[in-house]
Amino acid sequence: MKEKEQNFEDAMKKLEAIVEELESGDLPLTGAIKKYEDGMKLSQFCTKKLHDIREKIEILVKDSSGNFSTEDFASQNTDKPKNKKLKKNKKAEELLF
């Protein structure tokens, strides 16, 4: 039977539980090392999920002429934004403003 794919929320809950266990200081050294390794794997998983989601997010931008375009959220930290022109949409404008 295939194991259910882990999601971000479950991974974060497990990571928080591991942090609490490690902070308690009640684990033997070998147990603490194992928990630390598990926590690092969960941390890497969560970081990758956040990175993947960030790549998918687009920001709606309105220029001074009232035209809308989208810009990749990830490009906010780069020198070359990736704008995609949109047709002027009165309904979209009403929803946003």
pLDDT grade, residue 77 (50/70/90)? Answer: low
**pLDDT value of position 78:** 52
Residue 35 · residue 18 · CB < 8 Å: yes
In terms of Cβ atoms closer than 10 Å to its own Cβ (0-12, 13-18, 19+), residue 18 is buried
pLDDT in tens, 4-62: 678 999 999 999 999 999 999 999 999 999 999 999 999 999 999 998 888 878 777 77
